[in-house]
């Protein structure tokens, strides 16, 4: 049994495991992470093994305060400082030139490092007790659906992690928004739990993609990712598709007519935050229904809708 309810005692044990080079799955407000000592290359290598993740895919370092997080960078432009002050702890990852102490396995050899301060009690307590940055990608098999509960982690990774801390369902439910910089200009590398609109209010216009050869790309942002085992097809909301007992349906707010293998509604009141929080749980459930095809309705592309559409597009690739 490697799954434990998050308590002071289990968090302390998990922190000791991390200090000793172990790998622990833990909740954050976005999705569950698979964490190891971010300054220990051997421990980080185990993350890649457990996930079957390719080595060219860099890891995000998690810290317990902005003050500590800043030390992982060698250079911080002014707008990045504003974003840290305003949105940390929270679902925002910043990619900036790395400090010398950050090992190459964390950055996949890049000169930049991705860092964030999560807004989750268990995550913060764990990182604080570990006393070092915790490197953590999502706690799933590479390319598969991201986990928003400890049960999702257990289903995909079993006993591979030394411990799974169960802190309940994650509050936001999609991964962090990743921002890098071209000089002083913020660039969006991955839409996520912090809406672009809020970032623009604090730091001005955000470039939606890096100029060719100018800024680091996000190597892990593959076209196909976050994919359920079934074939996912994106459709316009309410578009009449023929119901089939071998197909499942992921609706934004309204139940489709007819008989389906399974149906999930992301948010009956049409709220994009609620929809994001339910996204991966719904996909896990539809995948579990055994359906061969999942029809997924497109959602409006503002606020958290941008992150939802990004995940659905990749899942359908």
Q: Exactly one of 15, 123, 127, 178 binds ligand AMP (CB under 6 A); which one? A: 178
Q: Given the complex with ligand AMP, which of 14 and 60 has the nearer CB atom? A: 60
Q: Given the complex with ligand AMP, which of 101 and 221 has the nearer CB atom? A: 221
Which range touches ligand AMP (CB under 6 A), out of 3-11, 199-207, 214-222, 272-280? Answer: 214-222
User: Considering the complex, what minimum distance in angstroms separates the CB of residue 251 from ligand AMP?
Assistant: 26
261 binds ligand AMP (CB under 6 A): no
User: Considering the complex, what minimum distance in angstroms separates the CB of residue 31 from Mg ion?
Assistant: 7
Number of residues that bind ligand AMP (CB under 6 A): 19
User: Considering the complex, what minimum distance in angstroms separates the CB of residue 208 from ligand AMP?
Assistant: 15
User: Considering the complex, what minimum distance in angstroms separates the CB of residue 284 from ligand AMP?
Assistant: 17
Closest-CB residue for Mg ion? 138
113 binds ligand AMP (CB under 6 A): yes
133 binds ligand AMP (CB under 6 A): no
The sheet with strand 247-251 has its strands ordered as 231-235, 293-297, 247-251, 262-265
**SS3 of the chain:** CCEEECCHHHHHHHHHHHHCCCCEEECCCCCCEEEEECCCHHHHHHHHHHHCCCCCCCCEEECCCHHHHHCCECCCCHHHHHHHHHHCCCCEEEEEEECCCCCHHHHCCCCEEEEECCCCHHHHHHHHHHCCCEECCECCCCCECCCCCHHHHHHHHCCCCCEEEECCCCCCCCCCEEEEEECCEEEEEECCCCCHHHHHHHHCCCECCCCCCCCCCCCCCCCCCCECCCEEEEECCCCCCCCCCCEEEEECCCCCCCCCCEEEECCCCCCHHHHHHHHHHHHHHHHHCCCCEEEEECCCCCCCHHHHHHHHHHHHC
User: Considering the complex, what minimum distance in angstroms separates the CB of residue 33 from ligand AMP?
Assistant: 7
Q: Given the complex with Mg ion, which of 69 and 178 has the nearer CB atom? A: 178
95 binds ligand AMP (CB under 6 A): yes
Q: Which of residues 128-167 bind Mg ion (CB under 5 A)?
A: 138
Which range touches ligand AMP (CB under 6 A), out of 39-47, 110-118, 231-239, 290-298? Answer: 110-118
Cα–Cα distance measured from residue 176 to residue 307, given in angstroms and rounded to the nearest whole number: 9
60 binds ligand AMP (CB under 6 A): yes
Q: Exactly one of 134, 163, 189, 248 binds ligand AMP (CB under 6 A); which one? A: 189
Enumerate binding residues for ligand AMP (CB under 6 A): 57-58, 60, 95, 107, 110, 112-114, 137-138, 175, 178, 189, 216, 218-221
Enumerate binding residues for Mg ion (CB under 5 A): 138
């Amino acid at each position: 049994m490697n799954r434990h309810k998050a308590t002071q005692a289990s968090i302390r044990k998990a922190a000791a495991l991390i200090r000793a080079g172990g790998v622990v799955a833990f909740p954050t407000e976005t999705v569950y992470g698979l964490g190891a000592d971010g300054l220990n290359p051997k421990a980080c290598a185990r993350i890649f093994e457990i996930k079957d993740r390719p080595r060219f895919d860099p890891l995000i370092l998690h810290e317990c305060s902005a003050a500590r997080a800043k030390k992982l960078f060698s250079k911080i432009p002014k707008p990045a400082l504003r974003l840290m002050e305003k949105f940390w702890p929270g679902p925002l990852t910043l990619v900036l030139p790395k400090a010398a102490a950050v090992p190459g396995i964390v950055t996949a050899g890049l000169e930049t490092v991705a860092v964030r301060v999560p807004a989750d009690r268990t995550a913060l307590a764990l990182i604080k007790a570990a006393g070092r940055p915790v490197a953590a990608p999502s706690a799933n098999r590479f390319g598969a659906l991201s986990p928003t509960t400890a049960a999702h982690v257990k289903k995909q990774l079993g006993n591979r992690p030394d411990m799974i801390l169960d802190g309940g369902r994650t509050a936001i439910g999609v991964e962090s928004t990743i921002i890098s910089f071209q000089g002083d200009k913020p660039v969006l590398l991955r839409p996520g739990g912090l809406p672009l609109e809020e970032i623009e209010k604090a730091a001005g216009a955000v470039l939606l993609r890096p100029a060719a050869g100018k800024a680091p790309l996000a190597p892990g942002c593959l076209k196909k990712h976050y994919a359920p085992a079934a074939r996912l097809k994106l459709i316009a909301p309410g578009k009449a598709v023929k119901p089939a007992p071998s197909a499942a349906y992921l609706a934004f707010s309204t139940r489709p007519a007819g008989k389906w293998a399974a149906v999930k509604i992301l948010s009956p009141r049409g709220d994009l935050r609620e929809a994001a929080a339910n996204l991966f749980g719904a996909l896990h459930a539809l995948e579990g229904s055994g359906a061969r095809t999942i029809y997924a309705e497109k959602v409006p592309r503002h606020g958290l809708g941008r992150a939802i559409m990004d995940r659905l597009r990749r899942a359908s690739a």
